[in-house]
Amino acid sequence: MRIGFIGLGQMGSAMAANLVRAGHAVTVWNRSPEKADALVRAGATRAGRPVDAAQGDVVMTMLADDHAVADIVFGEHGIAGAPALHVGHSTISVALADRLAADSGAGGYVSAPVFGRPPAAAAGTLFVVAAGPEAALDRCEPVLATIGQRVFRIGDTPSAANLVKLSGNFMIMAAVEAMAEAMTLAEKGGVDRRTLLEVLTGTLFDAPVYRTYGEILVEDRFRPAGFAAPLGLKDMTLVDTAATAFGTAMPLLGIVRDHLRTVIATQGPDVDWAGIALTVRDGAKLRRPPP
């Protein structure tokens, strides 16, 4: 398949590499062009402008936020109106996904946000949540199967996939907050974090979110960030906007969002979003290693 890939950050570069490895003809574009170098060496073609990456069958975007996606689609040399089917993987607002669907032009638009951190992107084991017109989903299914271990097709309204993704990210943050509070409590009472995690994941909490983030918390793996706290704050802000739009009170959301703000202010923007555990520990005056 002739695939364009735009946005070669932590996630996008790994996803694009898997597409090249699978034998697709991949054309790549990134705002900072040097991030395309390794992919070009691996066999990808470099596009001069975003629109040049959208002349094939499918163009996938994996960009930071709403602003970046709107720029790449509707800005100068943007992909709006290009022939390729636009498959959007970024975590963006429900409102922007609705706009992308409405203004997608001839190529069409599918929302396909993903669950999984950069190592899962590199291993091709992401979970993909896809929504859009059935024929468009059929067209991109083989590509989605290359980047992910499982593709959930959840309907024909693209923004529904974004709502699922935002809900999931809220639940990840809530799980991290809960683990951080429990680990801090246990540690202040003389039980180490690893012991607590081993018991809990070995009993009632045997789920990937507790295992993956539990290890990060136990080992203080907050740098380099797999998912930077400012992107996490962006997501919680998008959840808040959706909660207002749909009239849903989310008191837990306020707690994790403020903890993200605090950890960015105290640790800097390069800290992982799981670094909210540091804020929880600080609140309990639990000694921690220097950043």
Distance CA 244, CA 267 (A): 30
- Candidates 7-15, 100-108, 141-149, 170-178 — which segment interacts with ligand NAP by CB under 6 A? 7-15
Pick one of 184, 226, 263, 280: the residue that binds ligand NAP (CB under 6 A).
226
Among candidate residues 22, 77, 37, 33, the one with its CA nearest the CA of residue 54: 77
Q: Tell me the CA distances in angstroms from 208 to 8, 69, 272, one per residue in order.
A: 26, 29, 18
The sheet carrying 2-6 orders its strands as 45-46, 25-29, 2-6, 58-61, 85-88, 109-111
- Please report which helix (H) or strand (E) contains residue 129, including its range: strand 126-130
| Residue 165 is a catalytic residue | yes
Among the candidate windows 16-24, 95-103, 174-182, 223-231, which touches ligand NAP by CB under 6 A?
A: 223-231
Q: State yes or no: residue 90 binds ligand NAP (CB under 6 A).
A: yes
Q: Which residue number, 9 or 132, has a Cβ lying nearer to ligand NAP?
A: 9
Nearer to ligand NAP, 32 or 203 (CB): 32
* Residue 227 in contact with ligand NAP, rule: CB under 6 A: yes
Residues 116-145 that bind ligand NAP (CB under 6 A): 117-118
Apex 255 CA angle, 267 and 235, nearest 5: 70
Instruction: Please pick, from the candidates 30, 93, 212, 262, the single residue that binds ligand NAP as defined by CB under 6 A.
Output: 30
Of all helices (H) and strands (E), which one includes residue 130?
Answer: strand 126-130
What DSSP element (H or E) covers 46?
strand 45-46
Smallest separation (angstroms) from ligand NAP to the CB of 88: 10
List residues near ligand NAP by CB under 6 A: 7-12, 30-32, 35, 62-65, 67-68, 71-72, 90-91, 114, 117-118, 226-227, 231, 235
